[in-house]
Structure 1
Amino acid sequence: MRADAARGRIRLSSSPRLEQGAKTLSEIAGRLAQIREAFERPTLALLSRGKRGPVVLAVLMSSFSQNQDPVPAEQLHAQVRTYLAELAAAGEEVPDDPPRVLCRRWVKEQWLVLAANEDHVEEYALTSHAQEAIDYVKRLSGDRSMFSQSRIKTILDAARRCANDANPDREERVRRLDDEIRRLTAERDRICGGGEIEIAPDDRVLEEYLNLRDLIAQLPADFLRVSEAVKAIQRVIVGEFRAEGRRAGHVLDLYLERSSDLMTESAEGRAFVGAVELLRDDRLLKELRDDLKTILEHPFAVAVTPAEARDFRNTVIAVRHGMGIVQEQRRRLSATLRAHIARHDALRERELDEALRRCRSELASWMEKSGPRSRAGIALDLPSLEVAHLRQRFYNPGDHIPPLPLADTQAEAADPTSLEELRRQGGPDLGALRELVTAAVQELEAVSAGEVFASAEAGLRRPVEVFGLLHIAAATGAKELRDSGEADLFEAVRPDGTRRSFTTTRTVFTHEQLGALEAHDLDRQS
């Protein structure tokens, strides 16, 4: 009995250890499965491709602009060929496949998406997975927001707002509001009473700037994920229409339900709705622009590159561009639904429709398995043509006599156009106009666009230079005197010597525009 009791005690004491070991094995197996699933996603697959990963990322970052605009297929193939040749010349190991094959492979790996635009021209665009990989590389290669007072303050503010929204206690909310009012009132009274205004040191503003920049950098991938979700809804809706398993009304209800869930249930959809609300509030937009401008006017901004300052200043433009991508995808989905509903005819021959659907389904399956120049063995089984008589025509040697040789008109050819003549017919010289504005403002402190134009030489007073000068005024935020009733007169001289007068609202350049001229790359914006 003692032995049995001892064995019982041993069994009882060892059971928790076995359970703990099983639990540990279960946890590590679950974590391993989770990690493997993460590595199978396109983003980590792109970052973990060994030597080829940096090459692919470099090509994608160089081929697509900051706004992720689609690139025509042929143009991207040419760019990939050029970039790979440059990397090979620099001694880098690059793929040997043709650019078209590489791009199609990247589409299959979900780094690119290939679609036809409204003009039926095929275009490539980055997916959210590729954008996430690019953003991750940019964050690692640049200055990053570290553990700092700014990061902790952001967490505390977010936690306070979340707790305030989640707390249903009326008295607690009133108490929080009273505390905030007392704190702000005390700070206002201190400043109004002549208290010292503390200016944050450079390192603290830099920390807050990096923290804010990290948040802004996440927006493009969020917008791309919303756009891809809309595309997925489009594929499902089109499939429902083609299958004709439901009525058109049921399919539209499905579309409305999924669109609503996308905008309310997903984090990306809520971010998109927030961006729409931001762009609708002009006052909030102005405050955001003013805040970004104030941040870049702090002394720490001397360490920020012009490109980083331009991207930071154009945050509103980036948000507007991302929202435009999603809205364009939703517009295409609405057009697809409208086209299907307008073309739907219940009296069509259902047997023919079923045959065409099977044909499309088989063709889609065959395209997934086939390669370039593959052939499909299709038996048409068409009946032979029964014709009683065919008209015949005898051979005529005159039909094969070659035409007379062309006359030599080389002596009558016009003289080639010189480079200077082409330049006179071209667009505005923004570089020369910018130097002209800079010199005039430094000399007179405040000068109108008409006065700047009048001081230019004849070669820089073409009609097209008027548009170039107005472009510089708009880009640098020159002041327009609309209420004064004054106007700028532009006496333009065409390349043939004829003159033309133009009148615009009086626009004044000051020293404020000199800083904007240095921060903006106007030649690139044109």
Structure 2
Amino acid sequence: MSEIAAALASAERAFAKPTLSLLARKNAPVVVAVFSQVFSQDRTAIPAERFHALVDALMRELGAAEESSRAMSRRWVSEQWLVLATSDDGQEQYALTSHAREAIDYVHRLAGDRSVFGESRIRTIVEAARRCAMDADPNTDTRLARLDEQIAALRAERKLLAAGAGAEVVPQARVVEQYLNVRDMTAQLPADFLRLSEHVKNMHRTLVEEFRHEGRRTGEVLDTYLERSAALMSESLEGKAFMGAVELLRDEDLMNQLRRDLDAIASHPFAVTQPAGEVADFRNTVSSIRRGITTVLEARRRLSSTLRAYITSHDALRDRDLDDALREAKKEMAGWMRVSGPRARVPLQLGLAGLQIGNTRDRFFDPAEHAPPPPLVDTAADAAPAPSLEVLRQRGGPSVAALRAAVRAALDGDGVSAAQVFNALPEELRRPVEVLGLMQLAAALGALDGTGEEGSEVVDTVRVDGTRRALRLPLIAFDHRHRGELAPAGSEEHR
């Protein structure tokens, strides 16, 4: 094959991938904008009904609602831009595929600022080449010379800082370039994790098909699974990135250092000029790595669960009996076809025949269930006599009107105390509850102010049953100032 033919074949394979098929569509900007708005790093999966409602609302707002959201979602799933899966609680939900994530990242990189060439990009290349050369060169003397050179440079810088020279002020443009370099590298991580998760899911589907394949033994399928799993993690670029991320999360010091470095970069004044969403995603790079690892581990967990369920439920003896029965049925069918016509039919009953029985009663008429309830018994003769109005009054609250009239009558002369007024009342108005009524009346008149300082008095109360009880009250004085307050409403004395 010539070089141009090989180049054409490579280009055709690239354009056949769902990533470029999405970007080549006429409505690609609308689809990418909808995916970017609906999904985010914190929201990687959305319930199906909510996703349909969001897509309908966004399409109406853009004025591009040519078909229903359900039809578009089915088409996006068939074109491998979305995946429709069932969550652990049985709810259907949509998620982006790695192809759609790559398309979104590519559009964002083209739409935003890119550090295509600059001092930071050259510095990154030089430092990466130096580290790669140190790892590639096995010569001990050369490695020692490089380390001595680095140590000398670091010591010289430390000496200047210790002498009070102050740290070098780095231009903001250089910091922005370095930030864009790091951002471009971190933006590729979600698509890498999604691609690895899809590889695991494809392995899952292949494993299920091979289990169902006739003639494949369990041991052979297990060996194939272990070989593919090891190759996926050790040979593919996505698997190597995944193992590196796992090693990063195992090193708490390195992970904390990465988080502090990202916060320091995002706290620089240049971050104010960058989109807030990009800066927030940049700060949450460690969380994004955790979510990506969780996605891959969940796919591997499902694969292991399928494998475990098949091994524990697989019965080789039962499968052999079923194969023998099917083989015998196939042989009998071949013999019958040799002696039968092209449209011949044979009656075949699967399972037991049904019983032809009519309707059978399981309950019969019971007259006791339709008898009326017995009449109610008249208990009026056993009822206690109703209390009189006087008895109810004696067991009720204080007689405020009678107490007000008694206090007003006692104020015709000089001042009088509350105990004197109470002890002069008839016995039916000297119940213990009447003491509370007298105290309430004194509070309304303001006669309780300053009480308790001049001593107390004793009142003789009479209960309804005739028993007596002595109660001690503070000295409460009524005088001519309270007379107007005690006058009936509307009278000339009432104020």
Which residue does the alignment assign to 1:303?
273
Which residue does the alignment assign to 1:488?
none
Measured at CA, do residues 290 and 59 of structure 1 come closer, stay the same or move farther in structure 2, by a change above 3 Å? Answer: same
Measured at CA, do residues 75 and 287 of structure 1 come closer, stay the same or move farther in structure 2, by a change above 3 Å? Answer: same
More displaced 10-residue stretch of structure 1: 60-69 or 123-132: 60-69
Any residues of structure 2 matched to 1:157-196 within 5 Å, and which? Answer: 157-196=127-166
Query: Over residues 414-460 of structure 1, what are the superposed CA-to-partner deviations in whole Å (9 max), with x where a residue is unaligned?
Result: xxxxxxxxxxxxxxxxxxxxxxxxxxxxxxxxxxxxxxxxxxxxxxx
Which residue does the alignment assign to 1:483?
none
In 1, the alpha carbon distance for the partners of 2:31 and 2:49 equals: 18
Structure 1 residue 100 corresponds to structure 2 residue 70: yes
Which of 1 and 2 has greater Rg?
Answer: 2
* Root-mean-square deviation (Å): 2.6
Measured after TM superposition, the shift of residue 109 of structure 1 is: 0.9
Which residue does the alignment assign to 2:49?
74
Gaps of 5+ in 1: 1-22, 357-378, 395-526
Structure 1 residue 268 corresponds to structure 2 residue 238: yes
Relative to the length of structure 1, the TM-score reads 0.61
Any residues of structure 2 matched to 1:26-45 within 5 Å, and which? Answer: 26-45=2-21
Which residue does the alignment assign to 2:220?
250
Structure 1 residue 390 corresponds to structure 2 residue 357: yes
Query: Over residues 504-523 of structure 1, what are the superposed CA-to-partner deviations in whole Å (9 max), with x where a residue is unaligned?
Result: xxxxxxxxxxxxxxxxxxxx
In 2, the alpha carbon distance for the partners of 1:129 and 1:38 equals: 12
Measured after TM superposition, the shift of residue 232 of structure 1 is: 1.5
Measured after TM superposition, the shift of residue 76 of structure 1 is: 1.8
Structure 1 residue 286 corresponds to structure 2 residue 285: no
Measured after TM superposition, the shift of residue 323 of structure 1 is: 0.8
Query: Over residues 325-376 of structure 1, what are the superposed CA-to-partner deviations in whole Å (9 max), with x where a residue is unaligned?
Result: 11111111111111111111112144647999xxxxxxxxxxxxxxxxxxxx
Paired AA for residue 340 in structure 1: Y
Which residue does the alignment assign to 1:20?
none
Paired AA for residue 8 in structure 2: L
Paired AA for residue 229 in structure 2: S
- Percent identity of paired positions between Structure 1 and Structure 2: 55
In 2, the alpha carbon distance for the partners of 1:388 and 1:220 equals: 62
Measured after TM superposition, the shift of residue 196 of structure 1 is: 3.2
In 2, the alpha carbon distance for the partners of 1:355 and 1:339 equals: 25
Any residues of structure 2 matched to 1:40-119 within 5 Å, and which? Answer: 40-50=16-26, 52-67=27-42, 69-88=44-63, 92=64, 94-96=65-67, 98-119=68-89
Relative to the length of structure 2, the TM-score reads 0.64
Which residue does the alignment assign to 2:479?
none
Structure 1 residue 326 corresponds to structure 2 residue 292: no
Which residue does the alignment assign to 2:118?
148
Paired AA for residue 69 in structure 1: T
Paired AA for residue 43 in structure 1: T
Q: How many residues align?
A: 342
In 2, the alpha carbon distance for the partners of 1:329 and 1:381 equals: 47
Measured after TM superposition, the shift of residue 54 of structure 1 is: 1.5
Which residue does the alignment assign to 1:412?
none
Question: Is contact 1:150–1:204 with CA below 8 Å preserved after alignment?
Answer: yes
Any residues of structure 2 matched to 1:118-517 within 5 Å, and which? Answer: 118-243=88-213, 245-350=215-320, 352=322, 383=349, 389-392=356-359
Measured at CA, do residues 386 and 302 of structure 1 come closer, stay the same or move farther in structure 2, by a change above 3 Å? Answer: closer
Measured after TM superposition, the shift of residue 299 of structure 1 is: 2.4
Question: Is contact 1:206–1:300 with CA below 8 Å preserved after alignment?
Answer: yes
Paired AA for residue 71 in structure 1: I
Measured at CA, do residues 207 and 389 of structure 1 come closer, stay the same or move farther in structure 2, by a change above 3 Å? Answer: closer
In 2, the alpha carbon distance for the partners of 1:73 and 1:354 equals: 45
1:125 alignment partner, SS class: strand
More displaced 10-residue stretch of structure 1: 111-120 or 283-292: 111-120
In 1, the alpha carbon distance for the partners of 2:156 and 2:285 equals: 33
Gaps of 5+ in 2: 327-344, 362-495
Measured at CA, do residues 355 and 331 of structure 1 come closer, stay the same or move farther in structure 2, by a change above 3 Å? Answer: farther
Paired AA for residue 12 in structure 2: R
More displaced 10-residue stretch of structure 1: 125-134 or 260-269: 260-269
